[in-house]
Each structure stands twice: as structure tokens, then as C-alpha cells.
């Protein structure tokens, strides 16, 4: 764990700050600035009314943004002290669609402290003494996100993350920035950089390790008080005379001997508290880049969660993170539970439908659904099925009853569907059509004889379906029919002979129509036939006279 923590310091601040490798980065790229933004707008609104910025809101907003990154926290009293004003300026320019120059001109004669603060801050922008820290933080968040995506994002290539890959990607990204800077003519010393120091070699080491420094000063105070004032160098460029400056300073302590045991013990206690190495980033970008660099060196990698898409620190091969999501569970746990539930349901379904095949199903792995390529029924087969369908349809109610026809029709459509999805073969389909042809012949014959059709031998092989997928959905195969004669009730299990019952008719018309149809006559569909208007002629009765009935003799 200690390997994943580094310490850094900033100028004008004697404290040491901590960066937890990968955690700080993830926290920064995911940080939500909305609350800070709202606080700043509120502060600006109040300041516009009262003429001064409300300090309690500013203080609160600065506390909020300090949490985004340790570097901001370290510099909140110096470089980032005006970040709220920066945010207000950005908001004014954005909302009123004006540039900084116009805003500066508006506030050039400040009427209150609020305008004075804005004027002073924009003046600092104009004279390169400051930049808008708020927009800088937002841009750096985008920079960090892009860099994380570039190095650790799930790309199209299937390259495994390893030390070399990470290093190359990081170097490539940084080099791209350097190329752009070079081509645009950016001075090298204007780019962010990080120094690695120890607490004793920090620029403000005297204040950072103050107790020991005081003890040392006491040893050499006399010589130092009489020494040459070198503060004039502050205004000069000393980049070429650094060694000379250092040796001039060393000259006053060069005769130093080790301190006494007591003093050394005191120094040891004070120095032991400090970290062995301290980084000195000169900007937020430098701090972010430093974290990337140290992550690559210490093999701390990020990965994008396959469930939520957010980045997390790689600890094992699991592609899901340990963050608690909206379901109240971590992505990793949620996925495990999903797998378990799928496996359980698949197992249960298999056991219920095909117990004999249940053992073949993998216990914990969900069965992947293979995409099936649809086939089309050949045109001639389609035509043949349609012909049989039409022939049977015509004889519904005469050679074949309606339920029987529906059953056959359902079977035909299932056969077609199974053939299309590959669950049935063409030979099975043709067997079924052969059977249907024979059925059709029997039905025609039965219709001609005005009797139910004779049973047709069902010798085609029904298509087999997968037991756990199509078995439940497949229609039941028509029961094989036994020879049927008039007056028998057919059952698949047994045939029961019953006494002959003559045909009965409800009406005289039904009885009349039963024998009216002639074979070869144009046949009509049952519903059409029912609707056909039949003219019933009343019998013509003639009145007989006595003479007609009994003759004239009876009258006489």
C-alpha cells in the first residue's frame, strides 16, 4: 500500500501532501464540479446586489473544490485563492456573451469591491500574472480523462495491459503534447514540470524542516551574519551560475563537523517524521502527469468496468469494479449474482422439461443463444402446401371437421417455421406433405361418400427440437389415427365400439340438404355455404271437391 502513496510539496507552503496513485486520478476525473459552480453563481448574484463577495460562500466553495485534487488543496491559499472570482468571471462572460476585454473595460472604474475584484483579476490575466484557474481545472479534468482513456481505455485492439503497453501509450500521449508545443513555439521552460527532492533540498526546506534548520543556524550564525548579501540574485537569471551560487553559500558551512550525539538525536527525530522523497510539481498538470508516470513505474493500472464503464484500479483479472451502483451492490457482485440466477433458471428449466438431458447442461454457465440463419421454404414446396391447404379447407365440415383442420393447419405452420430456423429438414417437411396428400385424398373420398374420412397412416417423422428451447413451444403431433368407421369414437389408446346411431337432423332443411349435394358439383366453403340463401318452396295444395274424392254417385 505504501508503494502506492507519494508525497509532494508546493512552493509557499510548508506542508507535505499525499497522492494515492490511481485513486487520486480516478477521483479527479470523476469529480463533479456542479456544486462548486452553483456556489460561485450564488456568490456572484449576491455580490452584484451588495457590492461585495460573500466570504462565507466563497470559503465554502473553496473547500468544495479543494477536494477535487490534493494539488488544489495545497494551493488553495495561493494560486487557487481567486478560483471563485475566476468562476464568476467565466460565468459573466459566458452568460452575457462578452469577452474579457469588454468585462475589463466595464469595470475599469470600479464602483464597489466586487467590480474592483473583477477588474483586478482580469488585469492579472491581461498581464500574464494569472490565468483563469476555474477554466484551467475543467480543461485539466478533460485532459486527465482523455489520457486515461488513451492509456487504459477499452480500445478496438485486444491488447492486454502490461508494463510496456502502458509505458508506450503514456510516452506517445506525452510526446504528442510536446510535438504540438514545439511546433507552436512554446518555450520549454513554460511547460509544467516536476522536481524530485528530499525535504532538505526543497526550495523552502528551511521552513519545512524548521526545527533542525534553527539548530544549524545557531551553529553558524556568526559567520552568516557577516556574510555577503546574495539577495540581489533574486532579480537575475541564475540558470547559468547555479553551481557558483550553491558553492558561495556552502562556503559558510564547509567546515561543519557532525553535531554532538544529543543534537544528532534531535535532528534524527525531526527528520524521521518527513518523507524520504518529495515531489515538487509546479502546476496541476504536472501533478497529474506525475501520477501517471508513477503509476506506470509502479505498475498500478486502471481498467474500465464492463458493467458501469467507469475506471477502477486493477487488482485481479476481474473486468468489473467494486463500486456500489444504484442497485446497492457492486458491479462485480451484481454480475456474479446474475450469472448464478441464469444458471439456476436454466438448470431448473432443463430439469423440468428434459430430466434425462439435464446433466448435459453446464451448471453455472449460461447457455449462449447461437444466432440461427433463417432458411426460406422452396417455392414448389410452398405451392404444394398451399394446394393441400386449399383442398382441405374446402372440405371442412364434410370430409374433415373444423378442429381437425385447425390442428393440421397449426402443424403445417410449425413445420414451416422449424424448417426456416433449421429445426426441421426438407425430407421431414416433404414427409409431412406426403402424409397431408394422403389425408387430402381420404377427405375427398369421405366428402364424396358423405362420411368422415378414413384414417391416414402417419408415417412421416416429426422434427426433433431442442429439449430446452423448442420442445415446449412445438405443437403436439397429431395423434395417429386408427381405422375409423361410422359410429365409432376414436381414441389413441383404445377403440371402443358403440351401437349404431343413425344420423339425426335438427330441421327438415338440414335433412333435405344432407342428401342434396352431389359429388362433382361445385363445392363452396362452409361459411359461404351457410350463408347461401336457399329458396324453400311451399307445397301447393289443391282443394278436392266431394265429386273429385268420392265421385258423383256419392252425391246422389
The CB-of-253 to another protein minimum distance in angstroms stands at: 30
Task: Choose between 124 and 523: whose C-beta lies nearer to another protein.
Answer: 124
Candidates 6-14, 33-41, 104-112, 237-245: pick the segment binding another protein (CB under 8 A): 104-112
- Strand residues in 179-277 grouped as ranges (E): 194-197
Task: Choose between 32 and 237: whose C-beta lies nearer to another protein.
Answer: 237
Task: Choose between 100 and 267: whose C-beta lies nearer to another protein.
Answer: 100
Which residue among 105, 224, 241, 426 contacts another protein (CB under 8 A)? 105
Candidates 15-23, 32-40, 67-75, 108-116: pick the segment binding another protein (CB under 8 A): 108-116
Task: Choose between 127 and 159: whose C-beta lies nearer to another protein.
Answer: 127
The CB-of-236 to another protein minimum distance in angstroms stands at: 11
Residues numbered 225-284 forming contacts with another protein, rule: CB under 8 A: 235
Residues in the interface with another protein (CB under 8 A) total 13
State in Å, rounded, how far the first CA of the chain is from the last one. 144
The CB-of-128 to another protein minimum distance in angstroms stands at: 5
Q: How far apart are CA 134 and CA 186, in angstroms?
A: 22
Helix/strand/coil for 534: coil
The CB-of-175 to another protein minimum distance in angstroms stands at: 30
Helix/strand/coil for 346: helix
Candidates 54-62, 106-114, 335-343, 366-374: pick the segment binding another protein (CB under 8 A): 106-114
The CB-of-314 to another protein minimum distance in angstroms stands at: 46
Task: Choose between 123 and 213: whose C-beta lies nearer to another protein.
Answer: 123
Q: How far apart are CA 244 and CA 241, in angstroms?
A: 5
Task: Choose between 130 and 513: whose C-beta lies nearer to another protein.
Answer: 130
DSSP classification of residue 324: B
Cα diameter, the chain: 185
Burial class from Cβ neighbours inside 10 Å (0-12, 13-18, 19+) for residue 97 reads exposed
Q: For helices 426-449 and 379-394, give the axis angle rounded to 10 degrees.
A: 20
Which residue among 13, 27, 93, 110 contacts another protein (CB under 8 A)? 110
Least Cα distance to 397 among 480, 478, 453, 476 occurs for 453
The CB-of-45 to another protein minimum distance in angstroms stands at: 24
Label residues 495-505 b or e (16+ Cβ within 10 Å = b).
eeeeeeeeeee
Least Cα distance to 288 among 150, 167, 171, 140 occurs for 140
DSSP classification of residue 505: -
Spatial contact of 92 and 44, defined as CB atoms under 8 Å apart: yes
How many CB atoms sit inside 10 A of residue 79's CB?
A: 21
Task: Give pairs for 299-305: CB < 8 Å, separation 24+.
Answer: 299/163, 299/166, 300/4, 300/21, 300/22, 301/22, 301/152, 301/161, 301/166, 302/22, 302/25, 302/26, 302/148, 302/151, 302/152, 303/152, 303/161, 304/152, 304/153, 304/154, 305/331
The CB-of-116 to another protein minimum distance in angstroms stands at: 8
Which residue among 18, 67, 108, 471 contacts another protein (CB under 8 A)? 108
The mark string for 6-35 relative to another protein (x by CB under 8 A, - otherwise) is ------------------------------
How many CB atoms sit inside 10 A of residue 533's CB?
A: 5
Task: Choose between 101 and 457: whose C-beta lies nearer to another protein.
Answer: 101
Contacts of 414 (CB under 8 A, 6+ apart): 474, 475
Task: Choose between 94 and 236: whose C-beta lies nearer to another protein.
Answer: 236
Contacts of 89 (CB under 8 A, 6+ apart): 100, 103, 118, 121, 122, 132
The CB-of-55 to another protein minimum distance in angstroms stands at: 21
Task: Choose between 130 and 308: whose C-beta lies nearer to another protein.
Answer: 130
The CB-of-129 to another protein minimum distance in angstroms stands at: 5
The CB-of-125 to another protein minimum distance in angstroms stands at: 11
Q: Is 364 in the site for another protein (CB under 8 A)?
A: no
Residues numbered 485-504 forming contacts with another protein, rule: CB under 8 A: none
Task: Choose between 126 and 546: whose C-beta lies nearer to another protein.
Answer: 126
The CB-of-157 to another protein minimum distance in angstroms stands at: 47
Q: How far apart are CA 208 and CA 280, in angstroms?
A: 13
Which residue among 55, 109, 373, 556 contacts another protein (CB under 8 A)? 109
The mark string for 113-142 relative to another protein (x by CB under 8 A, - otherwise) is ------xx--xx-xxxx-------------
Task: Choose between 109 and 376: whose C-beta lies nearer to another protein.
Answer: 109
Task: Choose between 235 and 508: whose C-beta lies nearer to another protein.
Answer: 235
The CB-of-124 to another protein minimum distance in angstroms stands at: 7
Contact residues for another protein, defined by CB under 8 A: 105, 108-110, 119-120, 123-124, 126-129, 235
Amino acid at each position: 500500500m505504501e508503494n502506492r502513496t507519494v508525497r509532494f510539496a508546493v512552493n509557499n507552503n510548508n506542508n507535505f501532501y499525499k497522492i494515492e496513485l490511481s485513486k487520486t486520478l480516478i477521483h479527479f476525473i470523476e469529480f463533479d464540479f456542479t456544486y462548486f459552480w452553483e456556489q460561485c453563481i450564488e456568490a456572484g448574484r449576491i455580490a452584484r446586489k451588495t457590492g461585495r463577495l460573500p466570504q462565507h460562500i466563497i470559503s465554502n466553495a473553496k473547500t468544495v473544490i479543494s477536494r477535487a485534487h490534493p494539488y488544489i488543496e495545497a494551493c488553495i491559499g495561493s494560486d487557487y485563492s481567486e478560483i471563485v472570482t475566476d468562476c464568476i468571471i467565466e460565468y459573466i462572460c459566458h452568460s452575457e456573451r462578452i469577452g474579457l476585454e469588454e468585462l475589463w473595460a466595464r469595470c475599469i472604474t470600479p464602483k464597489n469591491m466586487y467590480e474592483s475584484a473583477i477588474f483586478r483579476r482580469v488585469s492579472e490575466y491581461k498581464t500574464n500574472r494569472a490565468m483563469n484557474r476555474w477554466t484551467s481545472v475543467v480543461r485539466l479534468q478533460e485532459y486527465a480523462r482523455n489520457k486515461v482513456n488513451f492509456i487504459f481505455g477499452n480500445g478496438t485492439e485486444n491488447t492486454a495491459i502490461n508494463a510496456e503497453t502502458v509505458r508506450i501509450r503514456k510516452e506517445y500521449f506525452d510526446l504528442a503534447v510536446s510535438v504540438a508545443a514545439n511546433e507552436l513555439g512554446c518555450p520549454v521552460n513554460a511547460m509544467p514540470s516536476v522536481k524530485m527532492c528530499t525535504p532538505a533540498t526543497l526550495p523552502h526546506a528551511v521552513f519545512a524542516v524548521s526545527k533542525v534548520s534553527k539548530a544549524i543556524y545557531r551553529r553558524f550564525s556568526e559567520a552568516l551574519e557577516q556574510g555577503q548579501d546574495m539577495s540581489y540574485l533574486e532579480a537575475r537569471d541564475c540558470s547559468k551560475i547555479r553551481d557558483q551560487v550553491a558553492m558561495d553559500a556552502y562556503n559558510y558551512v564547509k567546515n561543519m563537523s557532525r553535531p554532538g550525539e544529543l543534537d544528532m538525536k534531535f535532528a534524527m527525530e525531526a527528520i524521521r517524521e518527513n518523507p524520504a522523497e518529495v515531489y515538487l510539481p509546479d502546476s496541476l498538470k504536472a501533478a497529474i502527469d506525475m501520477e501517471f508516470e508513477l503509476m506506470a513505474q509502479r505498475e498500478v493500472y486502471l481498467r474500465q468496468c464492463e458493467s458501469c464503464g467507469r475506471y477502477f484500479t486493477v487488482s485481479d483479472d476481474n473486468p468489473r469494479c467494486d463500486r456500489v451502483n444504484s442497485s446497492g451492490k457492486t458491479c462485480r457482485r451484481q454480475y456474479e449474482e446474475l450469472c448464478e440466477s441464469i444458471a439456476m433458471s436454466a438448470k431448473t428449466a432443463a430439469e423440468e422439461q428434459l430430466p434425462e438431458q439435464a446433466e448435459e447442461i453446464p451448471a453455472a454457465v449460461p447457455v449462449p443463444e447461437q444466432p440461427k440463419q433463417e432458411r426460406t421454404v422452396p417455392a414448389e414446396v410452398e405451392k404444394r402446401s398451399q394446394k393441400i391447404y386449399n383442398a382441405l379447407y374446402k372440405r371442412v365440415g364434410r370430409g374433415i371437421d373444423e378442429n381437425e383442420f385447425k390442428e393440421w393447419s397449426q402443424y403445417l405452420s410449425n413445420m414451416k417455421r422449424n424448417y426456416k430456423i433449421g429445426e426441421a429438414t426438407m425430407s421431414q417437411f416433404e414427409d409431412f406433405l406426403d402424409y397431408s396428400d394422403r389425408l387430402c385424398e381420404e377427405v375427398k373420398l369421405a366428402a364424396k361418400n358423405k362420411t368422415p374420412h378414413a384414417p391416414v397412416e402417419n408415417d412421416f417423422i416429426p422434427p426433433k427440437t431442442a429439449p430446452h428451447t423448442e420442445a415446449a413451444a412445438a405443437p403436439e403431433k397429431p395423434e395417429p389415427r386408427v381405422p375409423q368407421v361410422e359410429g365409432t369414437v376414436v381414441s389413441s389408446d383404445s377403440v371402443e365400439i358403440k351401437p349404431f346411431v343413425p344420423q339425426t337432423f335438427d330441421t327438415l332443411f338440414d335433412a333435405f340438404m344432407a342428401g342434396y349435394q352431389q359429388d362433382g358439383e361445385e363445392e363452396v366453403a362452409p361459411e359461404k355455404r351457410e350463408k347461401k340463401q336457399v329458396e324453400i318452396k311451399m307445397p301447393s295444395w289443391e282443394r278436392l271437391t266431394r265429386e273429385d274424392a268420392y265421385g258423383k254417385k256419392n252425391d246422389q
